[in-house]
Amino acid sequence: MKHQDLFASIYATPDEYSRIGGQSTETLDYRIYSGPDSLILACGGTIGRIWPPSRDWLIDFEFWKTQFRKGKYAEAGFMSEATEIGHDFFQHVEANSPKIVYLVGFSKGGAHVAILFDLMMTIYPGLEIHGVTCGAPRALATESVDGFDYHYWLGKSTFHRYFIIGDPVPHLPPAIFGYKHFGQEVRLPFMWPWKAHSYQNYLNDLRGFDR
């Protein structure tokens, strides 16, 4: 599935798919779609007000770590939300037995995708899983990423991380707090920081990538 079409599914139902789940609240915004032998989990970004900060923003910037599986740690705020999303999505995986699962996320939705991708690769080792994030903050602890051979572990699965040069969000939480990205990095053309972190900008830039 083309990454642009997958990214568009965050807010629009893809062709040949039907929406079977998800929710949109002050803190969570995600959709679940069922299609030919596959499922899509599409996670949106921050939807709460910036000032005064909504619970959404306060959760986004907790910065302390929590364990989500043996030897793996993630940012606590993102982990609490990813756990809620995963509980819902995993039920659909069990009920539908898909051959392929697509996980896509924008902004903090990308943090949820990173955590759930890592978790699903362990829970469903034989399942083909493809993760795509755009403008995502760091979610996993550095010690959970360093020294881990993702290329060997992925097999037929893939994980692509897009970011517009100039977007400040992929630099959060700061690396000094002990967080790190993983996956195949794809840099998109520079934009000024106050313009870069935009769903529409990422959607437009993905037109040039036929993956």
Query: 91 pLDDT band (50/70/90 cuts)?
Result: very high
User: For the chain, what percent of residues have pLDDT higher than 90?
Assistant: 60
pLDDT at 19 over 80: yes
pLDDT digits (tens, 9 = 90+) for 49-75: 444 444 555 555 556 788 877 778 888
d(CA 124, CA 163): 28
CATH 3.40.50.1820 fits 3-208, yes or no: yes
**Closest by alpha carbon to 117, among 96, 98, 131?**
131
pLDDT digits (tens, 9 = 90+) for 131-178: 999 999 999 988 888 766 565 567 789 999 999 999 999 998 888 888
